[in-house]
Amino acid sequence: MTVAAAKTGMLASTRVIEAVERGLRKYAPPFYVLDPVMVSTTGYSLLADDAKQGLRERLFPLATVITPNVYEVEALTGRSVRLLKEAEEAGKQLLREGASAVVVKGGHLLEEKAADLLVTRDGAEAVRGEWIETKHTHGTGCTYSAAIATQLARGKTLLEAVKLSKAYVTEAIRGGLPIGHGSGPTDHFFYLRRDDSEEWVRRLALRESEGAW
């Protein structure tokens, strides 16, 4: 089976990062989405301090796009990011440091909630979505980056992939599952549990075929 795209999430340590680099160089997937999981949405560190530089030096140059959240882009750049303009400047800094493209996931921006920013060498474009008030958002970033990798594998441009994935993850958040005592997960299969599931899939397919994104 030919692998059309790869995606990584939490890597935790330098040894894991080095192993991922070896695998990417050996198998060279056409697309690689790097979700630099360093800080959780609740603010907890998920990457060893000595591994941050390895992430930047070893994996950034191999990635089609990196998808940090606001906390992670702040940790990577040393900048405060609360506005779209600040997200753009932080993204440009990461481009100068070796990234090919950056999606700043803006769920925690103060200026405009639920607005992400795609930053490439051609410029920056905001990808806006609906803000959904819920605590059941566990796995949102992982879902988003995996969806982007999937759309790239299907032949979409990076901007198309981000927009389609934004629409998908918004509905996955809307269908978030109240499991356990903390933040529940997003529902990857929300469309199987909704009365309008067939209509939602039809609308998504229509938008995609018409190039409405």
d(CA 50, CA 80): 22
At 210 the pLDDT is: 59
At 112 the pLDDT is: 79
Does the pLDDT value for residue 45 go beyond 80? no
Domain membership of residue 192 (yes or no) is: yes
Does the pLDDT value for residue 44 go beyond 80? no
CB-based contacts of 151-156 (< 8 A; 24+ apart in sequence): 152/4, 152/5, 152/30, 152/31, 152/33, 152/64, 153/4, 153/5, 153/30, 153/31, 154/4
Nearest to 47 by CA among 38, 55, 56: 38
Domain membership of residue 83 (yes or no) is: yes
Domain membership of residue 1 (yes or no) is: no
Domain membership of residue 41 (yes or no) is: yes
Torsion of CA 8, 12, 15, 20, to 10 degrees: 0
At 191 the pLDDT is: 79
pLDDT band at 212 (very low <50, low <70, confident <90, very high): very low
| Stretch among 90-104, 107-121, 199-213 having the lowest mean pLDDT | 199-213
Kindly report the backbone phi and psi dihedral angles of residue 23, in degrees, each rounded to the nearest multiple of 5, phi listed first: -65, -40
pTM: 0.87
CA 174 centroid distance within chain: 17
Q: Provide the domain limits for residue 88.
A: 6-209
At 38 the pLDDT is: 84
Catalytic machinery residues: 105, 137, 139-142
| Stretch among 53-57, 127-131, 190-194, 204-208 having the lowest mean pLDDT | 204-208
Count of domains in the chain? 1
- CATH number at 155 reads 3.40.1190.20
Domain membership of residue 82 (yes or no) is: yes
Question: pLDDT tens digits, residue range 76-103?
Answer: 999 999 999 999 999 999 999 999 999 9
Contact 101, 158 (CB under 8 A): yes
